[in-house]
Chain A
Amino acid sequence: MSRTTERARRVAERVTDPELPMLSLADLGVLRDVDVVGDSHVVVDITPTYSGCPAMAAMRDDLVRELTGAGFDRVEVRVSLQPAWTTDWITPAGRAALAAAGISPPGPAPSTSGPIPLSLLPTARQVRCPQCGSPATELVSEFGSTACKAQYRCTECLEPFDHVKEI
C-alpha cells in the first residue's frame, strides 16, 4: 500500500457513524476499501447497513468532507452490496466502545443461509447490562433510540439501555 493510500485510509477510518458517534465506520464494518487512483483521487467502498438506512447519505457526505479537507481533490464513494453487512463485522474495538458508551453490543448474528425458519416467539437474547454487568435484563421494546437498536432494562440496577440488534 502506498503512503498516500495509507494516509487516505487513516482519514477515512476517522469518520464516525452519525447515529453511533463512538464508532468509526471502520469499527462498524461499513468501510470496506480505500484506494487512491493517480495522485489524489480517492475511491472509498462502503456497505449499506439496512436497505433504507437514512444514515448512509450522512456517512457518504462525511467521508467526502473529511477526505476533501485532508487535501484529496476527488473523492468517489461507491456502494458494495455484497456480501450484505452483518453486525458480526463490528470490530472488538467497536464493541468495547459501544459498551463504554452504555450500549449493549450485538451477539452473534443468526445464520441466513437456506430457508429462514418462522419464529413465533419474541426474539430471545442473552443481554448483559452495560452499566453494572448484570445478566438480569428484560426487553422493553424491539425499538430503541433508532430502529436498529432494541430497548432493554436492567432489573438489577434499574437502568434502561439500548442493545444493537443482531442482523
Chain B
Amino acid sequence: MADHIHTSAEDEHDSAYSGLLVNDAHWAFGTDFEDPLAGVDTTIPDGVDAATLSTYALMLGDDSLVMSHRIAEWTSNAPDLEDDIALSNIALDLLGQARLLLARAAKADDAVVPALPEGSPAPPEDALAFFREAHQFRNVRLAEVVNGDFAEATVRVLLFSVWRLAVFERLRESRDHVLSAVAAKGVKELAYHRDYAARWFVTLARGTDESRRRLITAYDALWPLWPELFDAHPVEAAAAEAGVGVDPATVREAAEAVLDQVLTAADVERSEAPRRSGVLGRTGRDGMHGEPLSRMLAEMQSVARAHPRGQW
C-alpha cells in the first residue's frame, strides 16, 4: 500500500496545474501584475486639478476598454481569418491603451478606484475595469452599442478611429507625460485601425448591391452617435484648459474632413440621420448608457466579481 501513497513532491510533479502560479505575470485579471506605469513620470503637472486629470483619463480609458471588448467579440466570428486577426489586433491595441489610461486615472486620484475586499490582488486598473457599475463608466455611447454585421463593425471602427486619431494627434502635446506618451504610441495604432476600416468601407460600398445596402444601413444606424463624440464635457473642457486634454469640439472639422474623403471614395452621401439625444441632456460621458453596456459588463465582470481574491 505504501507504494501507492504519493509524496506531495510527486503530486506537484504530476499535476498539470502545478507551476501555474509560479510565473503568472502574463495572466490577465487577478495576478500580481507589475505596475504598468513603473518608472514613468506620473507627477501631476503644475496647476492641474488631480480629479480633473483622473476623470479625463478615465473617459479615454473607458472608450478604449468598451470598444476593445466589442471588437474582441468578433474573434472567431469574422468573415475570414485575416479579418478575424485584424479585428483581434485592433481590440488588443485598444486594450493596451485602456490599461495605461485606467492606471493613469488611478494614479492621478485614487478616489476613483472602487474598494475591493482585503487581500484582493487586483491592481487599480483591473479594479476600475471589473468593479464599477455601468453608470460609473464614462465612455461615449458609440463604443457600447451591440455588434451587428461586418459592415457595422467596419463603420463603427471607422467612426471611432477617425475621431480618436484626431484627438490623439493633439493629445501628443499634453503636459501630462502619461497621456502624451499614450497618444504618441496610439496614433500609429489608430492610423492603422482607421485605414483598415476605411478600405473595407470603400470595398463594401462599391461591392455588390447587397454589400452596399448593408454598409449604408450600418452607417445610417451609427451616424446618430457621431455628434456626441464632439460634445465637450465640462471635464474635457477643463482638462483642455489646463493643457493636459483635448477639447473634442476643436477636432471636429479635421475629423469630418477625413471622413468626407472616405465617403467620396465610397460614393456614399453624408447621412442625414438626426443625432441620438441623451437623457435629460446626459450622454455617455455623464455615465448615462444604454442597456447593452450593462449586459456587456455583466458578462465581462462576472468572473472577477465572483472571485475578488482569486489568483489565476
Give the interface of A toward B (CB within 8 A): 43, 45, 48, 50-54, 57-58, 60-61, 76-85, 112, 114-116, 118-122, 141-143, 147, 167
CB-based contact B86/A143 at 8 Å: yes
Instruction: Report 17 cross-chain contacts, Cβ distance below 8 Å, ordered by A residue.
Output: A50-B93, A51-B96, A51-B185, A60-B34, A61-B23, A78-B39, A81-B177, A81-B182, A82-B180, A115-B254, A120-B195, A120-B199, A120-B202, A120-B265, A142-B82, A143-B85, A147-B88
Judging by beta carbons under 8 Å apart, are A52 and B93 in contact? yes
Contact code string B174-193 (vs A, CB < 8 Å = 1, else 0):
00011011101111110100
Closest chain-B Cβ to A3's Cβ sits at a distance in Å of: 24
B interface, size bucket: 35 or more
Query: 15 other contacts beyond A45-B39, A52-B92, A82-B184, with CB at 8 A cut-off?
Result: A51-B97, A54-B92, A78-B38, A79-B38, A81-B40, A81-B177, A82-B181, A84-B181, A112-B191, A114-B169, A118-B194, A118-B258, A143-B86, A147-B92, A167-B188
- Chain B 86-107 interface residues, beta-carbon cutoff 8 Å to A: 86, 88-89, 92-97, 99-100
Does B298 count as interface, using CB distance less than 8 angstroms?
no
Determine whether the beta carbon of B96 is less than 8 Å from that of A53.
yes
The residue from A52, A53, A81, A116 contacting B187, defined by CB atoms under 8 A apart = A116
**In the complex, are the beta carbons of B186 and A51 less than 8 A apart?**
yes
Return A37 CB to nearest CB of chain B, in Å.
13
For the complex, give the distance between the alpha carbons of A84 and B206 in Å. Answer: 37
Contact A112 B202 (CB under 8 A): no
Q: Would A84 and B184 be within 8 Å (CB), given that A60-B34, A112-B191, A118-B194 are in contact?
A: yes
In the assembled complex, which residues on chain A have CB atoms less than 8 Å from the CB atom of B89?
Answer: 143, 147
B174 to chain A, nearest CB (A): 11
Chain A residues contacting B39 (CB-CB under 8 Å) are: 43, 45, 76, 78-80
Interface string of B17-45 (1 = CB under 8 A from A): 00000010110000000101111100000
**In the complex, what residues of A have CB within 8 A of residue B180's CB?**
82
Given contacts A50-B93, A143-B85, contact A83 B38 (CB under 8 A): no
| Complex contact A84–B199 (CB within 8 A) | no
- Determine the distance from Cα of A71 to Cα of B241 in the docked complex, in whole angstroms: 50
Of B26, B93, B100, chain A has the most CB atoms within 10 Å of the CB of B26
CB of A143 within 8 A of CB of B261, answer no
- The A contact surface, by secondary structure, is loop
Q: How far is the CB of B188 from chain A (nearest CB, A)?
A: 5
Q: Which of A45, A51, A116, A119 contacts B100 (CB 8 A)?
A: A51
B-to-A contact residues, CB < 8 Å: 23, 25-26, 34, 36-40, 82, 85-86, 88-89, 92-97, 99-100, 165, 169, 177-178, 180-182, 184-189, 191, 194-195, 198-199, 202, 254, 258, 261-262, 265
A115 to B185, CA, bound (A): 14
Provided the pairs A79-B36, A118-B194 are in contact, do residues A48 and B85 lie with their beta carbons within 8 angstroms?
Answer: no
